[in-house]
Structures are given as structure tokens and as C-alpha cells.
Structure 1
Amino acid sequence: MMTDNKLVFLDYCDLYFEECIALFDKNCPEFFANNERQDYVEFLEKQAKTYKIGQIEGKIVAVFGLDIDEKNNRASITWIMTCPSVHGKGLGTQMISYAKNIAVDCKVTHIDIATSHLLTAFFEKFGAKKTTKIKDGWGPNMHRVDMVLPLL
């Protein structure tokens, strides 16, 4: 049982691959479409240089990426998720706060978010606004919602 809900953030490396896949599987199919698993595997294998893991007591319970586009002063949150057993315990808020701090340090003015219809209310709590919605954009009954979170 976890006694402290304070996340320790570390850079992703290949040692965390299996735990990250297990975390994805725990969130599927409720928050991710089954067809997204291979995309996530490929992301971890090839593009995860800005991916962060969040640990509590040495166990990965949260992950997210933040890709910075310095030329346009924008960032994108990628593959954000928490372990279902810790939903509602403030870990998502910690991830967003951490991501915002990184973005501000990099002079980013907006964070772009591509999420599902299931998580729009979560991102709206932080001031994100919906920009587009694509029915079945992530897969059957998993609608894609693009959002933007202004930082200024």
C-alpha cells in the first residue's frame, strides 16, 4: 500500500519498458483503444526521449511525455496516464504541474493536448480548451478531442 502520493519523476529509459506497457494495459480499453497499443510500443521504442515516469515507492504509477517545439513556443503532452488504482489521488495534477513547469522554463506559451472524450473534463480543470473533436478518432467509440492549454 502506498503511503505517500508524491510522485518522483525520472526520465524514461528502456529498463521501464515492461512496466510502461503494463500500465497501458491497465488503462485499456477504458481510456485507450486496443488498436493504440502498438503505437505506444513503437513510441517507447523510438520516440520516448522526452518521456517521464512517475514513481511512488519505486513503482511506476504515472507516465507522460512533453514534446517541446521551441521554434513555435508550443509543447505537446503525449501518452499521459496513471495506474487506475491511484485515479483520484492527485497524481494527474502533479503531472500537469510538472509539465507546465518544464514548458514555462522552455518559454512555451501553449501546450497542445490530443486526448479522448473521456478525459476532457480533467484537462479543462487546468484551463485547457477544446479545439476539435473527431468521432472515433482513436478507435471505435473512442473520440479524439484536441485541446490547447494556454500558459500565459
Structure 2
Amino acid sequence: MMLSDFVFRPYRATDEASVMALFRSNLTPYFLESEAADLCSFLRQDPGPYFVAEWGDGTTQAGQVAAVGGYALNAHHAVLTWGMVDRCLHGQGVGRAFTQFRIAECQRAFPGRAIELNTSQHTAGFYEKLGFRTLAIETDGWGPGLHNVHMLLPA
């Protein structure tokens, strides 16, 4: 597998089932089943800039969704939203490349803004390698055993 095997494109409503399959592939330890309704609601109410990484033409998985994620703007910062990679692709560089793409899109849309995100203790180290720093940790913030780690990438 090479990163050139993937195409990054805007999310379409027809991608919802694929996004939910990615979500389910990441249950325990990365997400809780109780978050599924929140994700569905997010996808159905115009998620704003939200993207899909799908396998490109010439691959046996052509058109299948491999990763998703987007960004938004809150009162102070840009924010990365609902990012995830198919669990079978963890550790292969897809998440890093796709997150760097999302960061670049976010910086282009909101120049000079820091980028924040909320993630779990299981993925905080991944984001630290991309330059994010931890601002706060809320123990069991997402649910029992799943802490909410609030992080920021300075502008």
C-alpha cells in the first residue's frame, strides 16, 4: 500500500454507511458505542468541511472509504472534527497523511488560527507527533475508561 493509492474528496451523504462502518471498526478502545448517535446526527446536519479518504482507481478496494474527518470554527480556534481511520489501516501512514491534509485545509480556511481537538488518551500521542500539545485531560470525559484529552496546535 502507498499513500498514492488514496484519493481525498469531500464527504457526500451517500458515505454515511461507510463512515459508520469505520466508526464500528474503531470501537473499544477508540470510541464508545454510545457515541454512534452523535456521529449520525453530526453527519446528517451538514457537517461543514468534512472529507473522505478512499481507495483510488487501480486498487482492489477502489471506492472504499479508508478514513474520514473534517474541521470547523468555534469562537476562538479552528477545530478538527470526527477523524478516524479504518482500524485495519492503523500504523500505515494513512492517518498521518490524512490528518496533515485536514490541517492544511483548516489553515487555508482560517489562516493564523490555532487548531484544537478533543481526542482520547489512546490517540493523544499520535496528535502530539503532529505538533499538538495537551491543554487538559478530563478523566472519563467520553465515558468510563475513555478520557477526553483537549489538545491545541499553535498557529
| TM-score (norm: length of structure 1) | 0.90
Contact 2:115 2:154 in 1 (8 A): yes
CA distance in 1, matches of 2:105, 2:51: 11
Contact 2:49 2:70 in 1 (8 A): yes
Specify the alignment match of 2:135 in structure 1. Answer: 131
Range that drifts further, 25-34 or 123-132: 25-34
1:14 matched to 2:23: no
TM-align CA RMSD: 1.5
Check 1:146–1:12 CA distance in 2 against 1; reply closer, same or farther (3 A cut).
same
CA distance in 2, matches of 1:66, 1:79: 8
Instruction: Give the C-alpha shift of residue 112 in structure 1.
Output: 0.3
1:103 matched to 2:101: no
Alignment: residue pair count: 147
CA distance in 1, matches of 2:95, 2:73: 20
- Structure 1 unaligned regions, length at least 5: none
Specify the alignment match of 1:91 in structure 2. Answer: 94
Report SS of the residue matched to 1:9: strand
- Structure 2 unaligned regions, length at least 5: 56-61
Check 1:28–1:146 CA distance in 2 against 1; reply closer, same or farther (3 A cut).
same
Instruction: Give the C-alpha shift of residue 33 in structure 1.
Output: 1.3
Contact 1:66 1:75 in 2 (8 A): yes
Specify the alignment match of 2:123 in structure 1. Answer: 119
Specify the alignment match of 1:148 in structure 2. Answer: 152
Report SS of the residue matched to 2:48: helix
What percent of counterpart residues are identical? Answer: 29
